Amino acid sequence: MSNREASVARLESENSKHEIGYDNCALDGAAYSSTYGITTSGDTINLGFVTGSSVGSRVYLMQDNSNYRKFNLLNGEFAFYVDVSQLPCGLNGALYFTQMDQDGGTKRFPSNKAGAAYGTGYCDAQCPRDLKFINGQANVAGWNAGTGNLGSCCSKMDIWEANSFATAYTAHPCNVNSATACTGGSCTSSCDAAGCDFNSWRMGNDTFYGPGLTVDTKSKKITVVTQFITDDKTNQGNLIQINRFYVQNGQVIPNSHTSITGIDPVNSISDNYCFQKRAAFSENNVFASMGGLKQMGAAFKAGMVLVMSIWDDYSADMLWLDSDYPTSASGPGVSRGPCSTSSGVPSDVEKNYASATVSFSNIKWGELNSTFVGDAAVMYGDILI
């Protein structure tokens, strides 16, 4: 028996006495606004942080009533407006893609009668273990402080993780090719949970993003554009680079360049950038071991689902995004933003910033240089597109 087979056998054994499928559960809809603080107006979606006893939310873009919208963004770009002016330190208004099943898992797991219509089938590169249903069964065994035995792993592309003071975009490849259940300790071996990130502050520029800075987060919408460059300039080629730039007040703003010893002065994500970053920051190169950008591109070829969320962080107080992390460390890569290491404590932000919100609007995708107004000859990444 292989290690993988043994792991699956243990998983089935540990959960056999708790196998509660969807057949034994009642389906009920959600009151988006009154329960979760989610509202829409025109092409805008607003996610409120605290609504009654509900904290945070996560929503998906649908293709129809039964299926999520699938995206292959290779050799193309994705753009949106975002307003993070009401997001303090410790919160994260996120927009990203994960390799979820389009139907929410109903075809692969017939016991799942809910499907995409009820938001099932979630997975990501952190292999979350706080999901109540995974692969057609209830995740009820071994719960401890909001974590069950089972997790759900798949590749994830973080287009946008941000508050008013810090932002990052991050590629998280996995060695699995669809939403895959894991159990216990095995939930750390399938994906690059930390990912290969580009955070301007962490890369040496502390005046690029924030209130009143080059990309001004104070009471101003930001257009965020992300481009996925392939080796053969088609949507079936290998992903070799991820570009980022912004548009604000009619001006195209290229991403900041790195200024870290040991990292070339680039402003985009590539395999070479990820290799140099890991070495400069003394990190394990999990990104390469999971297949790097080629594997990230493979996930897009299979199709990825758009997710938007607002959340606080019970694990690390969001310090990995906007402060010093780890707090006991020093040296390159530790400082990720201007926020205090005492910020982001969930009990504090839930009490003092309950009215925090993030809004996303004017979401577009298409060919390179098609979703924004600006000079297409500007070098937004390391190569001229």
What's phi and psi for 186, nearest 5 deg? Answer: -70, -10
Tokens of 356: 């925090």
Structural contact between residues 314 and 111, judged by C-beta atoms closer than 8 angstroms = no
pLDDT, residue 13, reads: 34
C-alpha triplet 340, 257, 278: angle, nearest 5°:
70
Residue 304 lies inside a defined structural domain of this protein: yes
Tokens of 318: 């969001």
Each of the 385 residues of the chain gets a pLDDT tens digit; together they read 333 333 333 333 334 444 555 566 777 778 899 999 999 999 999 999 999 999 999 999 999 999 999 999 999 999 999 999 999 999 999 999 999 999 999 999 988 888 999 999 999 999 999 888 888 777 877 766 567 889 999 999 999 999 999 999 999 999 999 999 999 888 999 999 999 999 999 999 999 999 999 999 997 899 999 999 999 999 999 999 999 999 999 999 999 999 999 999 999 999 999 999 999 999 999 999 999 999 999 999 999 999 999 999 999 999 999 999 999 999 999 999 999 999 999 999 999 999 999 999 999 999 999 998 866 545 455 554 4
CA distance 151 to 174: 14
Q: How many domains does the chain have?
A: 1
pLDDT, residue 277, reads: 98
Residue 378 lies inside a defined structural domain of this protein: no
User: Containing domain of residue 101, as a range?
Assistant: 3-25+59-366
Residue 375 lies inside a defined structural domain of this protein: no
Residue 53 lies inside a defined structural domain of this protein: no
Preceding peptide of 88 cis, ω within 30°: no
Q: State the CATH number of the domain containing residue 296.
A: 2.70.100.10
pLDDT, residue 375, reads: 61
Residue 31 lies inside a defined structural domain of this protein: no
Number of alpha carbons in the 13 Å side-chain half-sphere of residue 21: 11
Residue 105 lies inside a defined structural domain of this protein: yes
Residue 323 lies inside a defined structural domain of this protein: yes
**CA neighbor of 153 nearest in space, from 7, 326, 314, 308:** 7
Residue 335 lies inside a defined structural domain of this protein: yes
